[in-house]
Chains A and B, each alone.
Chain A
Amino acid sequence: MPKKLVLERPKGFYEKFERKPGDKSNTHYCPGCGHGVIHKLIAEAIEDLGIQDRVIMVSPVGCSVFVYYYFKTGNIQVAHGRAPAVATALKRANPKAIVVSYQGDGDLAAIGGNNILQAANRGEHITVFFVNNAIYGMTGGQMAPTTLPGMKTTTTPYGRDEDNEGPPMKVSELLATLDGPTYIERTAVWDNKSIAKTRMAIRKALQCQMDGKGFSMVETLAACPSGWKVDPKNQYEWMLENMQPFFPLGVKKDIRDERESWHRTPRDNSAEEVSEALDLNVPDPKLFPSEYKKDSYRNPSIKLAGFGGQGILSAGAMLANSAMEQGYHSSWIPSYGPEMRGGTAYCFVNISDQEIGSPTVSHPDVLMAFNRPSLEKFEADVKTGGLLMYDSTIIDVEPTRTDIEVLAVPATKIADGLGNTRMANTVMTGAYLAQTGILSREAMEQTIPKALKRKNLVDANYLALKAGMEFVENQ
Chain B
Amino acid sequence: MSKILEEAITVVSPEHCKGCGLCVISCPQDVLFQIDGFNSKGYHPADYTGEGCTGCGMCFYACPEPAAITVYKKGAEHDAA
Structural contact, B64 and A35, CB atoms closer than 8 A: yes
**Residue A9 is within 8 A (CB to CB) of chain B in the complex:** yes
Structural contact, B65 and A5, CB atoms closer than 8 A: no
Closest to B19 in A: A31
Structural contact, A232 and B22, CB atoms closer than 8 A: yes
Question: Using a CB-CB cutoff of 8 Å, which residues 55-81 of chain B contact chain A?
Answer: 57-58, 60-67, 69-73, 75-77
**Alpha-carbon distance between A41 and B62 when the two chains are bound, in angstroms:** 10
Closest to B60 in A: A7
**Residue A336 is within 8 A (CB to CB) of chain B in the complex:** no
Q: In the complex, which residues of chain B have a beta carbon less than 8 angstroms from the beta carbon of A7?
A: 57, 60-61, 69-71, 73
**Residue A100 is within 8 A (CB to CB) of chain B in the complex:** no
Question: Using a CB-CB cutoff of 8 Å, which residues 34-83 of chain A contact chain B?
Answer: 34-37, 39-41, 43, 70
**Alpha-carbon distance between A427 and B74 when the two chains are bound, in angstroms:** 90
Structural contact, A236 and B16, CB atoms closer than 8 A: no
Q: In the complex, which residues of chain B have a beta carbon less than 8 angstroms from the beta carbon of A29?
A: 64
Closest to A35 in B: B64
**Alpha-carbon distance between A34 and B63 when the two chains are bound, in angstroms:** 9
**Residue A279 is within 8 A (CB to CB) of chain B in the complex:** no
Structural contact, A36 and B75, CB atoms closer than 8 A: no
Whether A192 contacts B72 in the complex (CB less than 8 A), given A31-B18, A36-B65, comes out as no
**Alpha-carbon distance between A416 and B10 when the two chains are bound, in angstroms:** 92
**Residue A111 is within 8 A (CB to CB) of chain B in the complex:** no
**Alpha-carbon distance between A25 and B62 when the two chains are bound, in angstroms:** 18
Structural contact, A9 and B61, CB atoms closer than 8 A: no
Structural contact, B15 and A25, CB atoms closer than 8 A: yes
A-B pair number, CB within 8 angstroms = 90
Residues of A within 8 Å of B, CB-based: how many?
34
**Alpha-carbon distance between A34 and B75 when the two chains are bound, in angstroms:** 31
Closest to A37 in B: B64
**Alpha-carbon distance between A192 and B27 when the two chains are bound, in angstroms:** 9
**Residue A174 is within 8 A (CB to CB) of chain B in the complex:** no
**Residue A6 is within 8 A (CB to CB) of chain B in the complex:** yes
Structural contact, A13 and B66, CB atoms closer than 8 A: yes
**Most A-side CB within 10 Å, residue of B22, B61, B65, B72:** B22
Structural contact, A8 and B64, CB atoms closer than 8 A: no
Structural contact, B25 and A41, CB atoms closer than 8 A: no
**Alpha-carbon distance between A26 and B67 when the two chains are bound, in angstroms:** 8
Question: Using a CB-CB cutoff of 8 Å, which residues 4-38 of chain B contact chain A?
Answer: 15-16, 18-22, 25-26, 28
Q: Chain B interface residue count: which class?
A: 20 to 34
Q: In the complex, which residues of chain B have a beta carbon less than 8 angstroms from the beta carbon of A191?
A: 26
Question: Using a CB-CB cutoff of 8 Å, which residues 1-25 of chain A contact chain B?
Answer: 4-10, 13, 25
**Most B-side CB within 10 Å, residue of A4, A13, A31:** A31
**Residue B48 is within 8 A (CB to CB) of chain A in the complex:** no
**Alpha-carbon distance between A26 and B75 when the two chains are bound, in angstroms:** 29
Q: In the complex, which residues of chain B have a beta carbon less than 8 angstroms from the beta carbon of A36?
A: 63-66
Closest to B75 in A: A5
**Most A-side CB within 10 Å, residue of B26, B43, B66, B71:** B66
Structural contact, A236 and B64, CB atoms closer than 8 A: no
Structural contact, B76 and A6, CB atoms closer than 8 A: yes
**Alpha-carbon distance between A43 and B18 when the two chains are bound, in angstroms:** 20
Structural contact, A196 and B61, CB atoms closer than 8 A: yes
**Alpha-carbon distance between A232 and B72 when the two chains are bound, in angstroms:** 26
Chain A: minimal CB distance from B44 (Å)? 10
**Alpha-carbon distance between A233 and B66 when the two chains are bound, in angstroms:** 19
Chain A residues at the B interface, C-beta cutoff of 8 Å? 4-10, 13, 25-27, 29-37, 39-41, 43, 70, 191-192, 195-196, 199, 225, 232-233, 236
Interchain Cβ contacts under 8 Å between A and B, 27 examples:
A4-B73, A5-B77, A6-B70, A6-B73, A8-B70, A9-B66, A9-B67, A26-B18, A27-B64, A29-B64, A31-B18, A31-B20, A32-B18, A32-B22, A32-B64, A36-B66, A37-B22, A39-B66, A40-B61, A40-B63, A41-B61, A43-B66, A195-B58, A199-B61, A232-B20, A233-B25, A236-B25
For the complex of A and B, 6 pairs with smallest distance between CB atoms: A36-B64, A32-B20, A5-B76, A31-B18, A31-B20, A232-B20
